[in-house]
Structures are given as structure tokens and as C-alpha cells.
Amino acid sequence: MVKVGFIKLGNLGMSQVIDLVQDEIAAREGISTRVFGTGPKMDKETAASTEELKAWDPDFVVMISPNASAPGPKSARELWNDYPCIVVSDGPTKKDDRQALEDAGFGYIIMTVDPLIGAKTEFLDAVEMASFNSDAMKVLSTCGVVRLLQEELDAVTAQVDEGKSGADLELPHILAKPQKCIERAGFNNPYAKAKGLAALHMASKVAEVNMPACFILKEIEDVALTAATGHELMRAAAQLAIEAREIEKANDSVFRQPHSKKGVQLQKTKLYEKPQKV
């Protein structure tokens, strides 16, 4: 039984399903999952509470939060540096910062494509927040990011299964930019792939648009227009991702990679095909 712990500080698009991707029908044997989350907040004090999960003694943990360089995630990492820990976040993106993470023993998957929400009272309420996360998830799922997570976590899980543990585990060090993500998406039609890749580029652009809305602009019209623009961009990206998948459906060429009960990654492409070992 491999024990995978998830620590969620604040919220990213990927936070919504990250603990589900290894066991999509809840029937996988030999894997056990626990999640400890702090809800929307991710300050230093809140982050401290994540230590709670150590009681369960996971084989490795996945720590997901926006901006892994912020004080909260940073201090949480310090608490967990005695465990194999994979940082999943939208930053830091700079090479040196990522190297520092790696040098400190952490794995990381930095997703530049997980979009920054327009987090201002003037624009965001619970409904808009959830609707934006839905759009984000449409791109993340369809365009390869979910599968990248699934494959990487499965790879670490497999190591544990084989008897490795602690510092011996090889953790992923991935800067998940559009080009890298799209290769995991398994598109068969090249235009569908191009649409998916365009959607990822658009998702990446959202942060650029929303950044000033969140941190610089003050006037209500500026804040509201800019945040609305970021969310329209995300909406358009989601729509393009949908279009990409519809092409694959129309060709009956949707690549699927479900887990068998034993946790093997099966594969199938035609809808009426049985999933097969590869």
C-alpha cells in the first residue's frame, strides 16, 4: 500500500482534482490517499498546521499552492523537508529558483499554464471563482496537464511500490510550459493539438493580464475591466480546448489511459475498444 499525502495551501486550478488523478474510479488497489488543506488561505501561520498530516506518515507528499515562493508555502516546505515532497505550483518559473528547490531535495512541477484568478472584491465572488476554475480545469484536463500530473505521480508511486523510499525516490523536476504539456495530451489530429496548444498559451497569458488587476490597479473600472478580460481570455481558452477534444471525438481517436485495479496504466483510443496493457 503506497501512501500519498496531498497538502493544499490556497487554490490553483489543478488543486481541484490533483488527489483524484491516480485513481479516477476509486477502485485502485494498493494506493491510499489523504488530503490536508487550508482552504483559501496560505499564510505562514496557516501553513504550519499542515504538519498534522505527518501523523499518517505518507510515503511521499504533494504540496500544491499558488506561488511556491510565498512565505506560507516556503515555511510549509521547511516543515516537510524530511519527507519526499513534490511542489506543484504556478511559480517560481526562474531557473535559479527552481534549481534551489531541487537542491533542497524537492521535486517540482511548475505549471505556467495554471492561470491566475482575478482575485478582487470588485469582481470576484464565489460564483465567478468557481466558474473560472471550471474553465481552468477544462484546459488543464484536455490539454495534457492533468495527464502530466497523473503520469508523474504514478511514476513516483511505482518507485515506492518497488521498494524505494525517502531520499531514494526520484522526484520530477518539470517546468510545465505549453509545449511540454501538449505532448502529454495524446492528441491524434494535429489541428486539435494546435488548438490545444493555443489554449495553453492563452491560459499562460491570463496571469499577465490579471497580475495588474490583482496587485496594481486601483480604480474600480480598471480593476473590473482587467479582471473581466483575464476571465474572458480563460473562457476563450476553455472553449478552444473543448473544440480540440470535439475533433478527437469526431474522429473516434480520443486517447485514454485509465488505471486497472492493480494500478497499471492501460490505454485505449477507439470508444468501443477495451483498455489494454501496453
CA–CA separation, 28 and 260 (whole Å): 7
Q: How far is the CB of 254 from a second copy (least distance, A)?
A: 8
How would you classify the pairing of strands 2-8 and 60-64?
parallel
User: Considering beta carbons, is residue 168 or 252 the nearer one to a second copy?
Assistant: 252
SS3 148: helix
Q: Does 69 bind a second copy (CB under 8 A)?
A: no
Region of 78-86, 88-96, 159-167, 250-258 interacting with a second copy (CB under 8 A)? 250-258
Q: Is 116 in the site for a second copy (CB under 8 A)?
A: no
For 254-268, b/e burial (b = at least 16 CB within 10 A) is beebebeeebebeee
Q: Compare residues 105 and 124 and give the one whose CB is closer to a second copy.
A: 124
In the region spanning residues 131 to 170, those forming contacts with a second copy, defined by CB under 8 A, are: 131, 133-135, 137-138, 140-142, 146-147, 149-150
Least CB distance from residue 193 to a second copy, whole Å? 6
Between CA 65 and CA 86 the distance in angstroms is: 11
Contacts of 225 by beta carbon, 8 Å cutoff, 6+ apart: none
Q: Which of 110, 111, 118, 174 is nearest to 139 (CA)?
A: 111
d(CA 71, CA 206): 23
Residue closer to a second copy (CB basis): 8 or 77: 8
Q: Please, what is the minimum distance in Å from the beta carbon of residue 104 to a second copy?
A: 26
Q: Is 217 in the site for a second copy (CB under 8 A)?
A: no
Only one residue has cell 500519498, namely 4
Smallest separation (angstroms) from a second copy to the CB of 105? 25
Instruction: Name the segment binding a second copy (CB under 8 A); options: 90-98, 104-112, 156-164, 268-276.
Output: 268-276
52 binds a second copy (CB under 8 A): yes
